[in-house]
DNA sequence: AAGTTTATTGACTCGTCAATCAACAAAAAG
DNA sequence: CTTTTTGTTGATTGACGAGTCAATAAACTT
């Protein structure tokens, strides 16, 4: 039972954060959505914060899996692999209300909860390392710098696309980042 | 009295959000820090959310003033003006705990509170227009695209610098963005 | 001076919520 | 079949907090 209940709670936590748009969700709401009493939620997770952290781990692992899958499906060319990472980062699923809510609130959580900050750092390192592998063959010496900027650009574009009025547009987000890469590769042509 | 009290409450709101790292601050805390009773805070602002929005307006107007000042001090060259905007965006003051807390939580607020979303949109449009003015002489046809990416990059770099473990480094943030601009201008050389 | 508006607060209402606990059920172990 | 472990909940506790209100004081108006 334990793993089933925990998984249900994690999913419900993410949904509720998405609905509320904040971490201001009660354990009862989460438990109810997961089909159990609040007491049971407390039984499996000690405290509410533990639920948040588990939810964060889940979101990050989903994203990680998405990127891994995209890379596996992509061919061998560095450009193609780079493109795959970017597309995975901006997949429509990542712009669903729950996902946006989760990410934004995890940023907030990372300010004060060390474990949340650590998890975020892990995500950023993984993204960076994936980007580096693609970039080294393309820009050699400047790979480190470009990877750092590219990572930040992905976060920034995501933020803007997620918060703009109107529906987010995955394709536009991808295009913006691809354009940056093109510039870094020295081709001014947007293609 | 009214404007004095309101100003004190706005300042106190920002400080308390920074301390808590979230919008989970009580009106009493804010009022106490502002040197008055919670009833008085409710008297001047109707509800807590109004205090948050006033605080957001204040943060945004501070940032706007900073950019305006930097532009006034900068010369006439588009590159210099661009650099001024970037430096103002990453001034050490913007990395103080209160400022970071305010920005991150305003992003969260923008998900659900239309007025917050609107304010954020205003900030983004202003930044975009400032960037465009500098970019048009430099990259002509691609100015719109570059301005959009540059705006997102600034947000993304800020986010990462603010949340990384260790103290944020304004200079590094500026350097990352400047490097991007250099690439967009077609100069591969990092300087 | 009497009246009116503004400033200010302590006390209160009404609600919420995290966390605990005792109790019950049901499965596993012996 | 009885004991222990695991699953489960309703009820409760204890605390906190947003917003209201009546009352007091102080400052202007006429």
Q: Where are the domains of chain A?
A: 58-184
Give the rounded percent of residues in chain A with a pLDDT score beyond 70.
97
Contact B163 A112 (CB under 8 A): no
Q: Is the separation of the CB atoms in B2 and B43 below 8 Å?
A: no
CA atoms within 13 A on the CB side of A118: 5
From the CA of A12 to the C1' of D4: give the distance in Å: 32
List C-alpha distances in Å: A132 to A79, A114, B65, B139.
12, 27, 38, 28
CA–CA dist A25, A47 (Å, integer): 13
List C-alpha distances in Å: B175 to A149, B86, B140, B180.
10, 9, 23, 9
- The whole-number pLDDT of residue B189 equals 43
What CATH number was assigned to the domain covering residues B2-184?
Answer: 1.10.357.10
- The whole-number pLDDT of residue B174 equals 96
Residue B14 pLDDT exceeds 80: yes
Coil, strand or helix: which one is A77? coil
Which tokens go with A125? 């390192």
Contact A152 B148 (CB under 8 A): no
pLDDT, tens digit, 9 for 90 and up, residues A34-54? 999 999 999 999 899 999 999
From the CA of B25 to the C1' of D19: give the distance in Å: 15
CA–CA dist B65, B67 (Å, integer): 5
Residue A189 pLDDT exceeds 50: no
**Helix, strand, coil percentages, rounded to 5, for chain B:** 80, 0, 20
The string of DSSP letters for B5-40 reads: HHHHHHHHHHHHHHHHTSS---HHHHHHHTTS-HHH
- The whole-number pLDDT of residue B188 equals 44
With CA atoms as reference, report the closest residue to A37 among A46, A49, A45, A27.
Answer: A27
pLDDT, tens digit, 9 for 90 and up, residues A122-179? 999 999 999 999 999 998 888 999 999 999 999 999 999 999 988 999 999 999 999 8
Give the CA diameter of chain B: 60
Give the CA diameter of chain A: 60
The arithmetic mean of pLDDT across residues A72-93, rounded, is 94
Residue B191 pLDDT exceeds 60: no
- The whole-number pLDDT of residue B187 equals 56
Residue with tokens 């989970």: B24
Q: How does residue A182 score in pLDDT terms, banded at 50, 70 and 90?
A: confident
Q: How does residue A190 score in pLDDT terms, banded at 50, 70 and 90?
A: very low
CA–CA dist B99, B96 (Å, integer): 5
pLDDT, tens digit, 9 for 90 and up, residues B96-123? 999 999 999 999 999 999 999 999 999 9
| Nearest-CA distance B2 → chain A (Å) | 31
List C-alpha distances in Å: A45 to A12, A15, A38, A157, B162.
13, 17, 11, 34, 30
Contact A24 B20 (CB under 8 A): no
ipTM summary value: 0.89
Task: Scan residues 13-42 of B and list those with Cβ closer than 8 Å to A.
Answer: 20-24
- Reduced 3-state DSSP string for B86-138: HHHHCCHHHHCHHHHHHHHHHHHHHHHCHHHHHHHHHHHHHHHHHHHHHHHHH
Residue A84 pLDDT exceeds 60: yes
Does strand C come within 7 Å of the CB of A33? Answer: no
pLDDT, tens digit, 9 for 90 and up, residues B45-90? 999 999 999 999 999 999 999 999 999 999 889 999 999 999 999 9
Fold classified for A58-184: Tetracycline Repressor; domain 2 (1.10.357)
pLDDT, tens digit, 9 for 90 and up, residues A99-116? 999 999 999 999 999 999
From the CA of A57 to the C1' of D21: give the distance in Å: 48
């Amino acid at each position: 039972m334990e793993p089933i209940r925990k998984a249900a709670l994690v999913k419900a936590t993410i949904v509720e954060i998405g609905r509320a748009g904040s971490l201001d969700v009660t354990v009862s709401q989460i438990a109810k959505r997961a089909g159990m009493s609040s007491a049971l939620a407390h039984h499996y997770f000690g405290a509410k914060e533990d639920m948040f952290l588990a939810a964060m781990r889940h979101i990050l692992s989903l994203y990680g899996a998405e990127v891994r899958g995209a890379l596996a499906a992509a061919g061998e060319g560095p450009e193609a692999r780079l493109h795959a990472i970017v597309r995975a980062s901006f997949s429509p699923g990542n712009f669903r209300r729950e996902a946006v809510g989760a990410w934004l609130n995890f940023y907030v959580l990372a300010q004060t909860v060390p474990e949340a900050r650590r998890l975020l750092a892990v995500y950023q390192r993984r993204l960076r390392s994936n980007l580096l592998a693609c970039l080294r063959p393309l820009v050699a010496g400047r790979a480190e710098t470009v990877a750092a900027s590219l990572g930040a650009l992905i976060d920034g574009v995501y933020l803007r696309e997620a918060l703009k009025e109107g529906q987010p547009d995955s394709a536009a987000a991808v295009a913006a980042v691809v354009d940056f890469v093109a510039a870094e590769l020295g081709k001014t042509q947007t293609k």
